[in-house]
Homo-oligomer: A and B are copies of this chain.
Amino acid sequence: MYSFKNDYSEGAHPQILSALMETNLEQENGYGEDRFSQEAIEQLKQRLGRTDLDIHLLTGGTQTNLIAISAFLRPHEAAIAANTGHIATHETGAIEAVGHKVVTIETADGKLTAQHIHTVLEAHTDEHMVKPKLVYISNSTEIGSIYKKQELEQLREVCDKNHLILFMDGARLGSALCSYENDLELSDLPSLVDAFYIGGTKNGALIGEALVIGKESLKEDFRYHMKQKGALLAKGRLLGIQFLELFRSNLFFELAAHANTMADIMRKGISEADIPFLIHSPSNQLFPILPNDLITELQKDYAFLIWEKIDSDHSAIRLVTSWATKEEAVLAFVQDVKRTVVKPVAQHLKNV
């Protein structure tokens, strides 16, 4: 049984574990004031090409989203998100629990556009409604789509004109930046969005997201918010060591590229079997629409999520690849799909 259920089925890249081992007995300050965290942050600033950024290391996506949004917004202000946005659906009301409404927009591809923002702003006119103030986007999105540079520039513009904060959830940023369709550099982000994070958990770390705050007014006292929400790890070194390892070399990008390559093989193979996809997703998540029979067959050897019922005979499934996905597993899966899909046809020919 091989699992394509998600990109956090395994532990961490071995290089990260080695680094934890090697530094284990060095005495360091707690709460992120250790030298590893400090160095990781300096290193990230260099990668991002700016020294005026505040960077904080946190443990997971929901935690990062709720702390950032709680720190950035006043009580009457709301976030705007796609209805597929992680904060809108899969965080158990984390944003509401810190007091803020999430105004959602139906989208086909999980991405927000400048037009979406206009529509929301026009519908929120006075103090009887929340004040939309922060635009939450994910790259790659929860359904595998990615933002192009021009799309972000357009969002940037509408946010600037309307004094909105543009915030990017980068839990799967690695996969987005390494997509064959991507035209963004990591270093483009600080000027395109006000804050974003670089996801480690889903790209080879044990835990860890690096939140980057570029907008000056959002920086003040951020560590207070981290502590208040239980996110300031006593052994903050755990986060620092991991990000140091991911960005000391190009490991972060290499791991994401591997995940994407594995997805590309599956995408190509599944397409060759004339199987359609629910969503165009040029990253490490795929949503093929399969006959239910085939799904049952595949479930004998592979674990994956049934995403959505399409009709009485077909369902979309979700396949996720990661830094740890084995090429042999991917190839086997494609082969099994092809065999199973083609078989009925072959049998049909014999019968003739």
Contacts and interface: CB of A to CB of B under 8 A. Distances in A.
A235 B127 contact: no
Nearest to A1: B27
State the oligomeric state as a number of copies.
4
B93 A130 contact: yes
Contacts of A95: 96
A220 to B, nearest CB: 8
Contact of A131 (B24, B76, B89, B221): B221
A12 to B, nearest CB: 7
Contacts of A17: 17, 20-21, 24
B8 A234 contact: yes
Contacts of A97: 75-76, 99, 228-229
Nearest to A12: B24
A49 interface: no
Contacts of A96: 78, 95-96, 99-101, 130
Interface of A: 2-3, 5-6, 8-12, 14, 17, 20-21, 23-31, 59-67, 70-71, 74-76, 78, 89-102, 127-131, 201-202, 206-207, 221, 223-235, 237-238, 324
19 contacts: A2-B27, A6-B30, A8-B30, A11-B24, A11-B237, A12-B20, A14-B24, A60-B232, A63-B231, A76-B97, A76-B221, A91-B128, A92-B130, A92-B224, A96-B96, A127-B224, A127-B227, A201-B234, A230-B230
Contacts of A63: 229-231
A217 to B, nearest CB: 12
Nearest to A30: B8
A221 B27 contact: no
Contact of A127 (B20, B221, B238): B221
A67 B230 contact: yes
